Structure 1
Amino acid sequence: MESRNISVAIDRPDEAVYAFAADPANLPLWAAGLGSSIELVDGRWIAETSGGSVVVEFLPSNDFGILDHVVTLPNGERVLNPMRVIGYRDRSEVVFTLNRRPGMTDEEFESDAAAVAADLATLKRVLEQRPESPDRVRG
């Protein structure tokens, strides 16, 4: 399976980056691929995307910066998205591993990679524009 690591450096401590990115309620602020809204319904986070409703499940909170999450697509396919926050003193790096799903064309894989890179750039902008921001930043 082909994969690609896509990363961004963020001028914020890893604890703040992790706390913000680990909160599914913040996804609409930076993860355009998961739509513009997300809601907790019966203990599951449901996001509305252009392709329909998806379920987003993060691993439990941890001290290792692991933000792996599974997205269940409208067709029932479950996509694992490995993601890490790595701390370097007062700054962080967020690394997202994009796995090429079976049957994906080169164009689809490149499009997904570009979308992930754009989302990470938005995450950086959101977190860096408000250095005083608490764990959860609201618009």
Structure 2
Amino acid sequence: MTTESTHISVFIARSSADVYAYASQPRNLPAWAAGLSSAIHEADGHWVADSPMGRVTVAFAPANAFGILDHDVTLPNGETVYNPVRVIPAGDHSEIIFTLRRRGGMSTEEFRRDAEAVAADLERLKALLEGRGTR
């Protein structure tokens, strides 16, 4: 059971439509979401990613007009982790918000490291979409 969550967000100097269009494409994940995927491919209608946790399966929310980028990640041990993500308009910019949930048995230190990894991923996305590379 989830007992704790934190919201990690960045503002991006691009429209929410632009951010959603890029971030919603699974093939783009390795470019910005190192915490999830160093490589990803589609196999039998499922997305399979090589992640820091091992080989995982990722199921994404259907394309939508609401900026919802939710996805389930099935870990090598069979556990499925639900990841709520939103792209929200902010004038001619946008904010992307990732809700990180602490999984059962996860230590405070593991949760902190997970949050840092998500924040780094979102910063990479921001840099890519703002044309600054990945410094």
- TM-score, normalised to structure 2's length? 0.93
Give the secondary-structure state (helix, strand or coil) at the position aligned to 1:34. Answer: coil
Partners in 2 of 1:72 and 1:8 — Cα distance? 26
Match of 1:101 in 2: 103
Structure 1 runs not aligned, ≥5 long: 131-139
Please name the residue that 1:6 is paired with. 8
Give distance in 2, aligned partners of 1:107 and 1:118: 17
Return the letter of the residue paired with 2:110.
Answer: E
- For residues 10 and 52 of structure 1, the distance between their equivalents in structure 2, rounded to whole angstroms, comes to 30
Q: 2:115 aligns with which of 113, 116, 138?
A: 113
CA RMSD, Structure 1 to Structure 2 (Å): 1.0
Structure 1 stretches of 4+ moved >3 Å: none
Residue deviations 1:79-99 (CA, integer Å, cap 9, x gap)? 000000001221000000000
2:128 maps to what in 1? Answer: 126
Q: Which residue pairs with 2:66 in the alignment? A: 64
Q: Distance in 2 between matches of 1:32 and 1:53?
A: 13
Unaligned runs of 5+ in 2: none
The total of aligned residue pairs comes to 130
Provide the secondary structure at the position in 2 that maps to 1:84.
Answer: strand
